[in-house]
Chain A
Amino acid sequence: DSGVTQTPKHLITATGQRVTLRCSPRSGDLSVYWYQQSLDQGLQFLIQYYNGEERAKGNILERFSAQQFPDLHSELNLSSLELGDSALYFCASSVGENEQFFGPGTRLTVL
């Protein structure tokens, strides 16, 4: 158990819908990272938050957004969902010691 929690574990929705994925980092970790794992693109970095502020952006679509709250949990919002958004979404956290701890992931299926 990495100490990072993600909810829900599985999510099934329809095209055009909007969903929110939630991540709670390890106690004390200020950084939260979101990654997407899909069959065709592999594991890709989406976005990073540090202590409530956006720090880095990767290959994140404009339909996707994220935020980190004062209690340091983070949410990834995916809107206008397309079939190609079906993937495993990981959250990871770190306190800056150059090791990221991954949550169990949320499997999103868009039908």
Chain B
Amino acid sequence: AQTVTQSQPEMSVQEAETVTLSCTYDTSENNYYLFWYKQPPSRQMILVIRQEAYKQQNATENRFSVNFQKAAKSFSLKISDSQLGDTAMYFCAFMKHASDDKIIFGKGTRLHILP
């Protein structure tokens, strides 16, 4: 069975700083997807970034980038030039590479961006 672990329950950083959220996972699959979801106070689940395991290049989306280490089963999220609107709960998530499969979520990291 797959598991996703986020070891940082809560983090705080100053606005404009760079912050890295950690995530490790366990799977015997070779092909899979990894995600970071953001859940702001509105509770909406928003996809931040997605990584396909067979792609070696790390995914980037504007100020968001990942450090994907397949052998180490590590998938960290870096937020550059952090903004107040980045304050949210962040979930690391895993999905097998198959059409239609459930997403397995980590417990989340609560990120506070301080003014």
Contact = CB atoms under 8 A, between A and B. Distances in A.
B75 interface: no
A58 B102 contact: yes
Secondary structure call for the A interface: strand
B45 A90 contact: yes
Contacts of B43: 88, 104-105, 107
Interface string A26-39: 00000101010000
Interface residues of A, number: 26
Contacts of A99: 47, 50
Contacts of A44: 105
A70 interface: no
Tell me which of B33, B42, B95, B103 has the highest count of chain A C-beta atoms within 10 A of its own C-beta.
B103
A100 B105 contact: no
B27 to A, nearest CB: 15
Nearest to A55: B100
Interface in B81-107: 91, 95, 97-107
Contact of B97 (A31, A90, A98): A98
B107 A45 contact: no
Contact of A42 (B44, B95, B107): B107
A96 B47 CA distance: 16
Contacts of B108: 42-43
Interface string B24-54: 0000000001000000001111010010000
Contact of A50 (B98, B100, B102, B107): B100
Interface in A47-66: 48, 50, 55-56, 58
A102 B45 contact: yes
Which 10 A-B residue pairs are closest in the complex by CB-CB distance?
A: A102-B45, A96-B99, A45-B102, A43-B105, A42-B107, A31-B100, A105-B43, A104-B44, A96-B100, A98-B33
Interface of B: 33, 42-45, 47, 50, 91, 95, 97-108
Given A43-B105, A44-B105, A92-B45, 6 more contacts: A31-B100, A33-B103, A90-B45, A99-B50, A100-B95, A105-B43
